[in-house]
Amino acid sequence: MLVGPSGAGKSTWAAAHFRAAEVVSSDALRAVVGSGEHDLDASGDAFSLLDQVVAARLGRRLTVVVDTLGLDHARRADYLERGRSNGMPCVAVLFETPGAVCRERNSGRDRPVPSRVLGQQLAAMDSARSALASEGWDEVVTVTVEDQERDRAGAGTR
């Protein structure tokens, strides 16, 4: 379960550490069922597909990386419960990318998230950070900007 605001580097990190088929992304599914990754009207359909993919993979005890913001406690609890009931280890990956870095990356993107929305996500990140410790994850892994830079440097030399 990835947890972090927009621009934190979740999708980039997931692509560096997992096979494409292991990652299920709400943005990618919005593009599948809607007009593009940012088609918010397609969110309902995208999340119901995401739930199906997660359930199907967990049912086969296959690794699944949930690439969403991960900032909603109820959603996290639901995925954790599904993982648990299938006997899978459940790991939360918390992206400790400073707000200023998220904002800078966000402003360089084709379709930046509005500043106010990013501010809400950054605030939600503060509550997620404190909630994660008591949610019952087998492990909470922290990814820093330094970790992301190491990935990038490693990818360049591979």
Positions touching ligand ATP (CB under 6 A) are 4, 6-12, 27, 69, 105, 109, 148-149, 152
Tokens of 132: 């994660």
Using CB positions, name the residue nearest to Mg ion.
Answer: 11
SS3 of the chain: helix, strand, coil, percent, to 5: 60, 10, 30
CB of 93 to ligand ATP, least distance (A): 11
d(CA 79, CA 90): 9
Could you tell which of ligand ATP, Mg ion, none binds residue 7, using a CB distance below 5 to 8 A set by kind?
A: ligand ATP
Q: Closest separation between CB of residue 70 and ligand ATP, Å? A: 9
CA atoms within 13 A on the CB side of 92: 29
Using an 8 Å Cβ cutoff, are 94 and 132 in contact? yes
Which partner, ligand ATP, Mg ion, none, binds residue 152 by CB below 5 to 8 Å per kind? ligand ATP
In the complex, the residues that contact Mg ion under the rule CB under 5 A are 10-11
- Whose Cβ is closer to ligand ATP: residue 31's or residue 86's? 31
To the nearest whole angstrom, how small is the minimum distance from the Cβ of residue 118 to ligand ATP?
Answer: 9
Instruction: Using the minimum distance from each CB to Mg ion, give the nearer residue, 11 or 86.
Output: 11
Comparing CB distances to ligand ATP, the nearer of 31 and 140 is: 31
Q: Look at residue 69 and give the partner it binds from ligand ATP, Mg ion, none, a contact being a CB closer than 5 to 8 Å depending on partner kind.
A: ligand ATP
Please enumerate in sequence order all residues whose Cβ is within 8 A of that of 123, keeping only pairs 6 or more positions apart, or say none. Answer: none
- Decide: helix, strand or coil at residue 25: strand
Q: Which residues contact 97 (CB under 8 A, 6 or more apart)?
A: 4, 5, 7, 8, 9, 143, 144, 145, 148
